[in-house]
Amino acid sequence: MENKAPTTFADKVRAMPGGENLDLCYSCGTCVSKCLIQQKQEPEYNPRMLLKMVMLDMEKEAYQSPTTWMCSACDLCYQSCPQEIHISSIIEAVKTLATEAGYTTPLETVTVDENKCSGCGICVMVCPYEAPHLIEKMADGEMDRFSEVDAELCMGCGICVAACPMGAIARPGVSNPEIHEQIAISPLKNTPSLIVFICDWCLRADTDTALLESYPPNVRVVHIPCSGRIDPQMALLALESGIDGVLVCGCAPGECHYKRGTYVSSCKMSLMDEMMGQMRLANGHVRFVQIGTQERGRVRHEIDDMLAVLQKEAA
Amino acid sequence: MAKKNAKPKLAFYWASSCGGCEITVTELGMRLIEVGELVDIVFWPAAMDFKYDDVEAMADKEIDICFFNGAIRSDENEHVAHLLRAKSKLLVAFGSCSHLGGIPGLANLFDVETLLERVYDTAPSVEEASRGTIPQEVTKMPEGEINLPLLQKRVRSLAQTVDVDYFMPGCPPVVDQVWNVFQAVLAGKLPPKGSVIGAQEKTVCDVCTRKKGDRTTRIKEFKRPHEVELDPEMCFLTQGVICMGPVTRAGCGTPCLNGNMPCRGCYGPPDGVADQGAKMVSAIAALIDTDDPAVIAHIREGIIDPAGLGYRFGLAESILSELKYRK
């Protein structure tokens, strides 16, 4: 009898959506050169090697590889793969198998506080990774609806943290109280103060990353995993505390590390801008910019420009 | 000296409001008679013949509980707010206007001069003969002087004016919640000072029974309720109609949703939301179709009056108002 079920690890991956392209890879490594994760987050991260591991049936090694867990499917590699392999699909297939085999994600992921969750489903709709879903269960003697997050699917981008109306979703490092603590600074006298909320994925050049550490205290840089983590309330709270300007930097459309974060933030900031205009508030105090991964030096230009505008207004 | 076992003294007042909060109290119907037997109503301009002088004559803290509805729009509103604060043991901001500024708070979108010009000069409904005649604080007439309270430059909530003990949201608060609160007050079962009463902690979505959106929900443009044939079973947001439910405290019993209309946000934001409009933007951006880069412009075009939507009842208390009117 012929057994049609995939037997080897490589066959299991090949049998999954996208996995059929596995053998097209000739290990040129272009994907690695394009990948921001290897550069910015994890030197061991390497899609080329992961695909090779799969081809060589190195199942356990593949499951333990950071590549399996850290790929956010930004697809910068897909755009330049000479074989047009949708690499993130193959990595996703490996992750699915790893999860089935009982492996867990090494990433910081979100948690839901059921005492706060209203079950509105906003997080379900906003998540680029289909990590949250609504469940129904008994609470205080009644059926109630809650959000539940599949940690293995969560990439920790924080987009849902910003979207959740109840502040019920937390992610270590970028939860509301932690961000608010960084906003609550005393503005300096006689110098315009600026808060820069920045998604680090849009800065490919090390000089740009280093620049952010070099500003004087009137420029406070708050690192967020994705511009989608921005809640316009953060900008308003900063202005209310006396900060003069808020600059939000995200990735260029099509380059968002978390697929849709930069679009979501763009929509939020655009509507907030309109509401502030309706209120006849002076414009230019809250700005949203989308920086391409190739736009070396742009962040300096944006910060300097905004400081100049605020300085001129103060004079 | 107050008599032992004397009935608690109640006051109702309306500042800048429409009268809907008064109506919700009268909607208690026969239960109002029960209330009347348990308390002494010592001031209620809308329903009983008391004057400001009667209140001025009271001792401080003589009123046990005062339900104050309406925003603080004029010098008169502010004067009476201070007066009733001094004369009342407990002051309750009753209804959206008192709680958050309410509909009158939307006036903060404009300056007072623009508003007066519109109302008394350029509005089509103004009679030609009186066009441009703007009421003044003092007007001399043959019979004597007419005095009017001045409009203040911004609309404020009650808590932005005086110290408030409790907040009861709603435009108007629904009658069942009014009854709940009256019973709690009479039984002396009140939560800590500063609490929102007559409402729930979670949002309208928590009690809404409509089918929620899922991962396939992707909105290309938002429409106004009259432009869509609304499915009574589905979440409004998934139908491309903005509903304030996600950023609004539950407790109303969802009469708007039951009438197949989206929540307008009158019960105000839940605890933890600093600015209802900004949070509304955060929530609705979640639904947009991000596969289409042109969609953001469509979204913006489809929402004609975002501030009016997001701050319909809360503009006066919003951070936007704080930014506009701070020194």
Q: What does the DSSP 8-state code read for residue A41?
A: T
- Give per-residue pLDDT as tens, B194-230: 999 999 999 999 999 999 988 888 899 999 999 999 9
Verify whether the Cβ–Cβ distance B272 to A239 is below 8 Å: no
Contacts of A117 in chain B (CB under 8 A): 202
Q: Which residues pair with B94 in a beta bridge?
A: B168
Name the residue among A141, A36, A33 with its Cα closest to residue A82. A33
Q: Which of A241, A246, A265, A267 to mutate to test the interface with B (most CBs of B within 10 A)?
A: A267
Contacts of A165 in chain B (CB under 8 A): 203, 246-247, 270, 273, 279, 282-283
Contacts of B307 in chain A (CB under 8 A): 274-275, 278-279
Q: 3-class DSSP state for residue B115?
A: helix
Q: How far is B134 from chain A (nearest CA, A)?
A: 24
Verify whether the Cβ–Cβ distance A271 to B205 is below 8 Å: no
Verify whether the Cβ–Cβ distance B273 to A119 is below 8 Å: no
Q: Is the pLDDT of residue B291 over 80?
A: no
Q: Which of B215, B263, B284 to mutate to test the interface with A (most CBs of A within 10 A)?
A: B215
Q: Residue B301: is it exposed, middle or buried by C-beta count within 10 angstroms (0-12/13-18/19+)?
A: exposed
Q: How far is A253 from chain B (nearest CA, A)?
A: 8
How many angstroms separate the CA atoms of A52 and A57, rounded? 9
Amino acid present at A201: W
Tell which CATH architecture fits domain A107-170. Answer: 2-Layer Sandwich (3.30)
Verify whether the Cβ–Cβ distance A240 to B282 is below 8 Å: no
Contacts of B287 in chain A (CB under 8 A): 125-126
φ/ψ of residue A215, rounded to 5:
-80, 150
Tell which CATH architecture fits domain A173-314. Answer: 3-Layer(aba) Sandwich (3.40)
φ/ψ of residue A53, rounded to 5:
-55, -40
Q: Which residues pair with B211 in a beta bridge?
A: B234
Report chain B's mean pLDDT, rounded to a whole number: 94
Q: Is B214 on the interface with A (CB under 8 A)?
A: yes
Identify whether the C-beta of residue B127 lies closer than 8 Å to the C-beta of residue B156.
no
The domains of chain B are located at 9-103+155-186, 111-152, 204-325
Verify whether the Cβ–Cβ distance B306 to A231 is below 8 Å: no
Q: Is B299 on the interface with A (CB under 8 A)?
A: yes
Considering Cα of A209, then A214, then A215, then A221, what sign does the dihedral take? positive
Q: How far is B59 from chain A (nearest CA, A)?
A: 39
Q: Is A130 on the interface with B (CB under 8 A)?
A: yes
Contacts of B206 in chain A (CB under 8 A): 118-120, 144-145
Nearest to B283 among A122, A265, A275 (CB): A122
Identify whether the C-beta of residue B278 lies closer than 8 Å to the C-beta of residue A281.
no
pLDDT recorded at residue B217:
85
- Give per-residue pLDDT as tens, A222-236: 999 999 999 999 999
Contacts of A259 in chain B (CB under 8 A): 290
Nearest to A166 among B202, B307, B324 (CB): B202
Q: How far is A53 from chain B (nearest CA, A)?
A: 32
Residues A277-299, buried b or exposed e (16+ Cβ, 10 A)? ebbebeeebbbbbbbebebeebb
**pTM of the full structure:** 0.93
Q: Helices in chain A by DSSP H: which ranges?
A: 9-14, 30-34, 36-40, 47-55, 59-64, 66-70, 76-80, 87-100, 122-126, 159-163, 176-183, 206-211, 232-240, 261-278, 298-314
Q: Which of A147, A279, A285 to mutate to test the interface with B (most CBs of B within 10 A)?
A: A279
Cα(first)–Cα(last) distance of chain A, in Å?
A: 86
Does domain B9-103+155-186 fall into CATH 3.10.20.30? Answer: no
Q: Is the pLDDT of residue A71 over 90?
A: yes
Here the ipTM equals 0.92
pLDDT recorded at residue A140:
82
How many angstroms separate the CA atoms of A170 and A109, rounded? 8
Q: How far is A148 from chain B (nearest CA, A)?
A: 13
Q: Is A118 on the interface with B (CB under 8 A)?
A: yes
CA distances to A83, A159, B25, B315 from A228, rounded to whole Å, are 31, 5, 45, 25
pLDDT band at B1 (very low <50, low <70, confident <90, very high): very low
The domains of chain A are located at 9-100, 107-170, 173-314
How many angstroms separate the CA atoms of B315 and B110, rounded? 12
Nearest to A134 among B212, B308, B310 (CB): B212
- Using CB atoms and an 8 Å cut-off, which of residues 127-146 of chain B contact chain A? none
Q: Residues A79, A81, A84, CA angle at the centre, nearest 5°?
A: 85
- Using CB atoms and an 8 Å cut-off, which of residues 146-165 of chain A contact chain B? 162-163, 165
- Give per-residue pLDDT as tens, A102-124: 999 999 999 999 999 999 999 99
- Using CB atoms and an 8 Å cut-off, which of residues 222-241 of chain A contact chain B? 231-233, 235-237, 239-240
Name the residue among A115, A283, A74 with its Cα closest to residue B202. A115
pLDDT recorded at residue A2:
54
Q: Is the pLDDT of residue A170 over 70?
A: yes
Name the residue among B272, B153, B8, B68 with its Cα closest to residue A161. B272
Q: Is the pLDDT of residue B327 over 70?
A: no
Q: 3-class DSSP state for residue A260?
A: coil
Q: Is the pLDDT of residue B5 over 50?
A: yes
Q: Which residue has the higher pLDDT, B299 or B181?
A: B181
pLDDT recorded at residue B299:
87
Cis peptide bond prior to B255, omega within 30° of 0: no
Q: 3-class DSSP state for residue A18?
A: coil
Length of chain A equals 315
Average pLDDT over residues A14-36: 94
Residues B131-160, buried b or exposed e (16+ Cβ, 10 A)? eeeeeeeeeeeeeeeeeeeebbebbbbbbb
Query: CB atoms < 10 A from the CB of A60, how many?
Result: 12
Q: Is A192 on the interface with B (CB under 8 A)?
A: no
Contacts of B316 in chain A (CB under 8 A): none
Amino acid present at B121: D
Output Rg (C-alpha) for chain B, integer angstroms. Answer: 22
Q: How far is B152 from chain A (nearest CA, A)?
A: 17
Verify whether the Cβ–Cβ distance B320 to A162 is below 8 Å: no
Average pLDDT over residues B230-237: 96
Q: Is A31 on the interface with B (CB under 8 A)?
A: no
Interface contacts A/B by beta carbons within 8 Å: 166
Q: 3-class DSSP state for residue B272?
A: coil
Helix-strand-coil split of chain A, %, nearest 5: 45, 15, 45
- Give per-residue pLDDT as tens, B77-88: 999 999 999 999
Contacts of B312 in chain A (CB under 8 A): none
